[in-house]
Structure formats: C-alpha cells, structure tokens
Amino acid sequence: MNLEIIAQLGTYASVALYEICARYRDNPSGVTNRQPVQWWIDALSPLPAGTEKRPWRKFKFDRIQPAIDEINAQTDIEIELIEHKDGRTALAAQFQVRKKHRQISLPIEKSKIEPADTVLIARAEALSIREAKVEDLILKYGDQLVAEQLDEFEKRIERKELGPINSPAAYLRQMCAAAANAAAAEPEGASPAVQPGQLELPAVTVAAAEADRMNERYAQLRGEIEQLSDPERAALAAEAVAELQGRGLYSAVIRRRVEAGDFFFGPLRVTICRIYGQQRYGDAWAGGPDTQ
C-alpha cells in the first residue's frame, strides 16, 4: 500500500477501511469478503473488539459513510458498501472495490520536476505563504490554477471589512482545492448558464466568504467562552472531548492540549464553540446573536 495515500486519510476508520479494501483492487471478483456487521464495527473502530456498542445503522452513518467519501476522494480506489439484510436488518456487509481510471495526484520528488514559477513563489511569499507550501500546491494543481487563486487571494486581502486571515497557507490551499473540485465537476466544454442581469460568483469565492464568516463567528464564541467561570469552561471541554472520542477524533495531540488547559486547538476549538453556541443561542447559533 502507498503510504503517501494513507497519509492523506484523516480518521482511523478511513485508514482501516482503505487497508482492507486496497487488497482487493486487483481481485477479479471486485468485492471484499462478506463479514457480519459486528466484524466491520470491530475492524473499523480504534477500541478493542467487542467494546463498540453502537448499532450498525448509527455506526454506518457516523463512521463508515464518511470513510467511504474520504477514500473515494483521496485515494486510488473507489469503494461502495454492499449490505446483506434480513428484511430491514443488516446482518452482513462487504465492499465493492474499483480502481480509479485516472491516477490521483501524489507528492513528486522535487528532483524529478521543473523548478516552480519564481514569480508565483515571490507573490505568495509577499502574502506570508512559504515557498515549500506554494511548491506543494503547484505540484498538485498546476501553475495556472495557483496563479488564478493567488489573484483571488490578493482581492480578498484588500477587503479589510472581512478581517485578517489567520493562516494564509491553509486559506490558499482551501481555495485551490475548491477551484479544482469545481472544475472537475463541470462537464468538459460546458459553459454555465447565467441569466441576464445575474452575476455568477465562482464557487471558491462563495466558499471563502463563508469560511471568513464562520471564522469570525468562532472568534466571537471563543471570546464569550473565555468570559465563563473555570468550572463552566471545564464542563464545556468535557462535552467536547466526549464527542470527539465518540467520533474517533480524540488524538494524543488534542489530549495533551486539553491537559495543558488549551481548549481552542484544532477540532476541539470547533466542537467546543459549537456546543456552547447551541446551548447559548439554539440551532441558529452559527448565524450570530442578531439572528436569534
């Protein structure tokens, strides 16, 4: 198995399911072995066998379907769940496995490629994005797409009303990924229909604007959480940790941050802000206090 592919997968369930299914990519049958659903629950859970008590239906929704989506998007195979049922009850399952017709983009040794466009690198460095980060994007998406997204990035920087960008490299990477996905979804030779008088916004621009809005909302919620008492913050953190553990996302890095009293790191930050927002503002928490 290609470790560079595995490194792109973000959850235990994704890695475990890819390791199983990748063995069958050259199998003439095109399917994995048929196993009881509890076997799959044990195989795709980081907990000891028999510990995971979640019903198959919920486990499939919370763990398996996100893993399938990630494997299909990030790896060299496409998989599909096949359930074997007695009435409405799933008793066993297996996966159909297909090789992708096109090769996915993987990191390439720098000695085997032409030097990256120095103009692009200079433009990116002026935006506080390191050379290595730009080279990785150029390898994955090409000079033209990166140049186009740098244009959009510079326009975004000029819009002072949207506030600062905390991580320029991550922001540009998200823009490039959104633009590449939008281009891949558009049929070759097709031109989107725009009604007279309408202004069509690129999908990446809409996504970037929404990311800015949510970052601002999370910053507002964090400010409110920091005003809470220590016991209140500790209770929120305990709820967030329990949720991440249930989703298999509570890593050793997050655990060390929690033990150090840092509740605003990575997925823990998003989770704790969402839990507080729902408790304080209800289901419309993401819209801000004015929407309540």
Tens-digit pLDDT profile for the chain (292 aa)? Answer: 566 777 778 888 898 999 999 888 888 888 999 999 999 999 898 888 778 778 999 999 888 999 999 898 888 889 999 999 988 899 999 999 998 865 444 444 444 434 445 677 777 877 778 777 777 788 788 888 888 888 888 888 777 777 777 777 878 888 888 888 777 766 555 544 444 444 444 444 454 566 567 777 888 888 898 888 888 888 888 888 888 787 776 777 677 777 877 777 666 778 888 899 888 888 888 876 554 4
HEC sequence for the chain:
CCHHHHCCCCCHHHHHHHHHHHCCCCCCCCECCCEEHHHHHHHCCCCCCCCCCCCHHHHHHHHHHHHHHHHHHHCCEEEEEEEEEECCEEEEEEEEEEECCCCCCCCCCHHHCCCCCHHHHHHHHHCCCCHHHHHHHHHHHCHHHHHHHHHHHHHHHHCHHHCCCCCHHHHHHHHHHHHHHHHHHCCCCCCCCCCCCCCCCCHHHHHHHHHHHHHHHHHHHHHHHHCCCHHHHHHHHHHHHHHHHHCCCCCHHHHHHHHCCCCCCHHHHHHHHHHHHHHHHHHHHHHCHHHC
Task: Give pLDDT, residue 185.
Answer: 65
Per the CB < 8 A criterion, the answer to whether 36 and 3 are in contact is no
Per the CB < 8 A criterion, the answer to whether 173 and 211 are in contact is no
Task: Give pLDDT, residue 6.
Answer: 76
184/102 Cα distance (integer angstroms): 12
In the chain, domain spans: 3-99, 110-186, 211-291
Task: Give pLDDT, residue 200.
Answer: 43
Decide if domain 3-99 falls under CATH 3.30.930.10.
no
Task: Give pLDDT, residue 83.
Answer: 93
Provide the token pair at 81: 């769940």
139/136 Cα distance (integer angstroms): 5
Long-range contacts (CB closer than 8 Å, 24 or more residues apart) made by 188-191: none
Task: Give pLDDT, residue 137.
Answer: 82
Task: Give pLDDT, residue 189.
Answer: 52
Task: Give pLDDT, residue 34.
Answer: 92
User: Which residues, other chains included, contact 203 with Cβ-Cβ below 8 Å and sequence gap of 6+?
Assistant: 178, 179, 181, 182
Q: Which amino acid makes up residue 127? A: L
Task: Give pLDDT, residue 121.
Answer: 75
Per the CB < 8 A criterion, the answer to whether 216 and 208 are in contact is no
